[in-house]
Amino acid sequence: MSAPQETDSRRRLNREEVLRTALELVDSEGLEALSMRRLGQALDRDPMGLYRYAANRADLLDGITELVLNELAIFPTDPDWQAQLRRIAHDLRLLALRHPNVVPLLVTRPLSTPLGLRPLGTLRPLEQILGLLIEAGFAPNDALHVYRAYYGFLYGHILNELQEYIVDPEENVALLRLGLHRLPARDFPNLRELAPVLADYDGEAELDEGISILLSGLAERLTTGKEAPAG
């Protein structure tokens, strides 16, 4: 008599499945909830058995970061570098909105690890965007400066947008929707006065406006550099 087949709940695991379950856990419960014990519960497995797929919690966090960044498509050989950077910006924003609890990993976690020791998946966007900019005509050193300015703007925008929470979306008065009526009028006159503008925040439009300003300056710099006489 043949042995019974494994049920779906006891199917063989692999690293990608473990990481996807970890990402789902972080999406639903936050980074603080992620542990080998909690992940074992979600997968219906002994937590000790998960160490074959991730060495520790730090390895899980790195894997989640790679998993999310793998969703970001970059085409380094695209001749329209400005359109490519604009699209990447909007795609990264959407990624952040889908996985807001992962944003701290994208923004701050790399600071604790030297560049050459970071997971390869977290370095690919840097390598690919540098290739895109160099192919467009930027000198390698300038391409690195552009990348830093570009991602600095993107992460700043994303962090700002994730803070734009509405207290009561059903309230018609902007001051009440944002909870700004709780602020002392004498100490916070500007924030209270700007309540209608703050309440109508459009993250997509704000990002596009900022990217337009950034790309305009970069295009002018690139053109000026190409036209500069050899000295």
pLDDT in tens, 130-160: 999 999 999 999 999 999 999 999 999 998 8
pTM reported for the whole predicted model:
0.78
Burial of 119 (0-12, 13-18, 19+ CB in 10 A): middle
Residues 98, 47 within the same domain: no
- Asked whether residue 148 is assigned to any structural domain, the reply reads yes
Residue 79 or 118, more confident: 79
Residues 119, 218 within the same domain: yes
Q: How confident is the model at residue 43 (pLDDT cuts 50, 70, 90)?
A: very high
What is the number of structural domains in the chain?
A: 2
Residues 89, 25 within the same domain: no
Residues 28, 135 within the same domain: no
The vertex-175 CA angle with 173 and 179, nearest 5°, equals 120
- Asked whether residue 63 is assigned to any structural domain, the reply reads no
Residues 20, 130 within the same domain: no
Q: pLDDT tens-digit profile of 106-123?
A: 887 766 677 777 888 889
Residues 135, 107 within the same domain: yes
Task: Tell whether the torsion through CA atoms of 82, 87, 90 and 92 is positive or negative.
Answer: negative
Q: How far from 183 is each of 48, 189, 197, 201, CA to CA, in Å?
A: 50, 9, 17, 20
Q: What is the DSSP letter of 10?
A: G
The range of the structural domain enclosing residue 90 comes to 68-164+201-227
Q: Is the pLDDT of residue 230 over 70?
A: no
- Asked whether residue 106 is assigned to any structural domain, the reply reads yes
- Asked whether residue 100 is assigned to any structural domain, the reply reads yes
